[in-house]
């Protein structure tokens, strides 16, 4: 795997942005591998992702920040730089359903997810053996109506201990507190078992069955204070019919859930996601 760096940029659209960034990288001997851009004309917003080979690149991360700041200030840029050699550290939170967790663990072991799964946290012990098979630390934190604040504090302690960058809710069937969400902005990815914005909240397959839908879906999104209302990263659907019962919808939906969540996680750790106005641009 090549050693690369990725730059994500968003700023008001002006002439010369692409030229200025490209010239800067060329000046410091970067070999650009991928360059993608998007213009939101309604908001006059320019968004861009550049990835380059750093084999002969002349700047370290600190030097890059110092030298690039003049261009960023000129165009009013919000930007983020990430090296492929620095792996994102994940905490996965799960309840009883293990299909999304199992898929992430397998893809990580197989090298499809270039990250470090540092810890798995669950309010049940059902997945402990599975996590143990992959030799990843597992922590059971019991959760009930009276100890939610204490349980979250224990979770925060683990996130700090393992230096976690990203939290994955792999069918973690609990609503996070406002304090939790505020503490980790744009660092929590959830999988919801419906095609949002339809069927927000609990038991979406049951409500989809009652409504007689012909399509079911799954949605992976960043978590915000609005329940199931955060920026959407990925979605997929499957066709169903009047012959399908709730159990059929659940069974078929599980396949969608694991695929959609793993895509979202991969795109995040590969620095392919730009957020704005409760929306995402995915450079894939």
Q: Which residues are catalytic?
A: 228
Decide: 265 and 277 in contact? Cβ < 8 Å: no
Look at the alpha carbons of 234, 36, 38, 73 in this order and tell me if their dihedral is positive or negative.
Answer: positive
3-state secondary structure of 56: coil
Long-range CB contact pairs, 157-160, < 8 A, 24+:
158/91, 158/119, 158/121, 159/91, 159/184
Task: Name the one residue in this structure whose structure tokens are 């663990």.
Answer: 105
* Total number of residues shown for the chain: 284
Task: Name the one residue in this structure whose structure tokens are 């504090």.
Answer: 153
Tokens of 256: 């969608």
- 138-140, strands of its sheet edge to edge: 138-140, 115-122, 88-94, 166-169, 188-192, 215-222, 232-239
Give residues with Cβ within 8 angstroms of 125, minimum separation 6.
Answer: 140
Radius of gyration of the chain (CA): 21
Task: Name the one residue in this structure whose structure tokens are 């996680």.
Answer: 265
Decide: 101 and 94 in contact? Cβ < 8 Å: yes
Instruction: Please choose, from the candidates 261, 187, 164, the residue with its C-alpha nearest in 3D space to the C-alpha of residue 220.
Output: 261
Task: Name the one residue in this structure whose structure tokens are 């995402």.
Answer: 280
Q: Taking CA 93 as the corner, what is the angle to CA 88 and CA 98, rounded to the nearest 5 degrees?
A: 110
């Amino acid at each position: 795997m090549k050693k690369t760096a990725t730059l994500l940029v968003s700023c008001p659209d002006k002439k010369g942005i692409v030229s200025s960034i490209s010239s800067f990288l060329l000046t410091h001997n970067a070999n650009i591998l991928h360059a993608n851009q998007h213009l939101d004309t309604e908001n006059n917003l320019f968004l861009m992702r550049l990835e380059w080979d750093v084999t002969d690149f002349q700047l370290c991360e600190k030097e890059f920040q110092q030298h690039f700041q003049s261009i960023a200030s000129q165009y009013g840029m919000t930007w983020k730089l990430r090296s492929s050699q620095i792996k994102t550290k994940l905490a996965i939170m799960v309840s009883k359903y293990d299909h999304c967790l199992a898929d992430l663990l397998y893809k990580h072991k197989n090298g499809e997810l270039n990250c470090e799964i540092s810890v798995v946290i669950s309010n049940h012990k059902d997945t402990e053996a599975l996590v143990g098979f992959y030799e990843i630390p597992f922590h059971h934190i019991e959760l009930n109506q009276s100890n939610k604040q204490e349980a979250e504090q224990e979770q925060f302690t683990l996130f700090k201990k393992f230096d976690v960058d990203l939290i994955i809710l792999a069918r973690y069937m609990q609503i996070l507190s406002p304090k939790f969400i505020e503490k980790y902005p744009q660092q929590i990815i959830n999988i919801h078992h419906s095609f949002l914005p339809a069927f927000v909240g609990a038991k979406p397959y049951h409500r989809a069955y009652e409504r007689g839908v012909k399509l079911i879906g799954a949605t992976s999104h960043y978590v915000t204070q609005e329940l199931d209302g955060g920026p959407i990263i990925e979605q997929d659907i499957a066709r169903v019919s009047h012959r399908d019962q709730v159990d059929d919808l659940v069974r078929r939906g599980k396949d969608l859930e694991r695929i959609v969540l793993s895509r979202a996680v991969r795109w995040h750790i590969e620095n392919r996601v730009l957020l704005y106005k409760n929306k995402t641009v995915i450079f894939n």
